[in-house]
Amino acid sequence: MSIGIILAKQVAVITLLMAVGIFAKKRGILNLAAAKNISDFVLIVITPMLMLQIILEDFAVEKFRELGIGMVVAAIFHLMAIGVTKLLIRPDPSGIHNLERFGAICSNAGFMGLPLMVAVLGPEGRVHSAAFLTVMTVYFWTHGLMLIKGDKGVSAKEILTAPGIVGLAAGLAIFFLGIRLPEPAMHTIDYLASMNTPLPTIITGVFVADLDFKKAFTNLRAYWAVAVRLLVLPCVFILLLWLLRVPYWLPGGGTIALAAVISCCCTCAANTVMMPVSYGGDVQHGASLVVMSMLGSLVTIPLVATVAEMVFL
């Protein structure tokens, strides 16, 4: 199945889930207070379960070399993206630039990136996705949280006790200690982790329901942030991986590089809405970034993935 068809299907699912949120908001089933409570639930409960699921199901000792290199490559992307977004997304007195930088750096590498990687790379794509998502989770709850909170500041304790970091630490401990969780526990983790896509997307729809589309689609800052997310960062990343000769680091290095590019070129993560809801910020602007990037990705993801495939394979 082609990347374009898979992408169109994923965008269709996201659109329908958002429509559920819009419907719930318009009919008074969900209000903004309820949306915040659900957002907190996702960040505090669902996020750790997702990390546990990724580590317990996709990490494997025989694949640990590939996982390690994949994490290094993912770390290179996030470090590069921090520098590039600071350079290209100019500060604004309102502080909105922090959310734009967050949205530009954080991609929807799970729901959108994983199916694309499996389609291009086969079952091995899950391993590469796990590597990228692990590093992205660390980013979310460190520099990403600092961006969202802005002048409020973030303490070391807040980072170390952040839900995603706790889930990651617990998962790694279980993995390295060789602990086998009972089947009911694994099923519970799977059920909770499966909520990671529908709930955030529905909550995004709740805020899209109140979105001023004329204002959103005439906001030049939003267009630029989305362009940085979908085109600038992936292209710079491709160039950087080529200069670092990542495809030659180990057999299959080209596949690792391609997988990382696919992960990083997806739409703005749902956390572009969820984090401002829970920690304060312009939620409407976050929602507009998600919607605009979703539309733009229909053109940019096939283009970027094709270029990366030509360069690395």
pLDDT in tens, 80-114: 999 999 999 999 999 999 999 999 999 999 888 88
Nearest to 222, CA basis, from 270, 272, 265: 272
Spatial distance between the Cα atoms of 103 and 29, rounded to a whole number of angstroms: 28
Spatial distance between the Cα atoms of 275 and 99, rounded to a whole number of angstroms: 9
User: In the predicted model, is pLDDT for residue 2 greater than 70?
Assistant: no
pLDDT one-digit tens code per residue, 211-221: 999 989 999 99
* Helices of type H across the chain: 3-26, 32-41, 47-58, 64-88, 96-105, 114-121, 124-139, 145-149, 156-160, 163-177, 183-193, 198-208, 213-216, 220-227, 233-243, 253-264, 271-279, 283-312
pLDDT of residue 18: 93
pLDDT one-digit tens code per residue, 270-290: 999 999 999 989 999 999 999
**Core vs surface per residue 120-139: b (16+ CB within 10 A) or e:** bbeebbbbbbbbbbbbbbbb
pLDDT one-digit tens code per residue, 61-72: 767 888 999 999
* Mean pLDDT value across the chain: 92
pLDDT of residue 156: 86
pLDDT of residue 113: 87
pLDDT of residue 118: 83
The share of the chain scoring above pLDDT 70, in percent, equals 98
- Compute the average pLDDT of residues 302-312: 92
Spatial distance between the Cα atoms of 134 and 171, rounded to a whole number of angstroms: 11
- Compute the average pLDDT of residues 235-240: 98
Spatial distance between the Cα atoms of 164 and 107, rounded to a whole number of angstroms: 16
Q: Are 265 and 108 in contact (CB under 8 A)?
A: no
Tokens describing residue 147: 């961006």
pLDDT one-digit tens code per residue, 39-49: 999 989 998 99
Spatial distance between the Cα atoms of 265 and 3, rounded to a whole number of angstroms: 13
Residue 312: CA count within 13 A, CB half-sphere: 32
pLDDT of residue 99: 97
Q: Are 1 and 116 in contact (CB under 8 A)?
A: no
Spatial distance between the Cα atoms of 25 and 209, rounded to a whole number of angstroms: 7
Q: Mind giving me the DSSP string for 215-270?
A: HHTT-HHHHHHHHIIIIIHHHHHHHHHHHTTGGGSSTTHHHHHHHHHHHHTSPBPT
User: In the predicted model, is pLDDT for residue 130 greater than 60?
Assistant: yes
pLDDT of residue 264: 96
pLDDT of residue 225: 98
pLDDT of residue 208: 93
pLDDT one-digit tens code per residue, 153-210: 788 888 889 988 999 899 889 988 888 899 999 999 999 999 988 999 999 999 999 9
Q: Are 289 and 227 in contact (CB under 8 A)?
A: no
User: In the predicted model, is pLDDT for residue 1 greater than 60?
Assistant: no
- pLDDT-derived band of residue 262, with 50, 70 and 90 as boundaries? very high
Nearest to 286, CA basis, from 203, 193, 180, 214: 203
The share of the chain scoring above pLDDT 90, in percent, equals 68
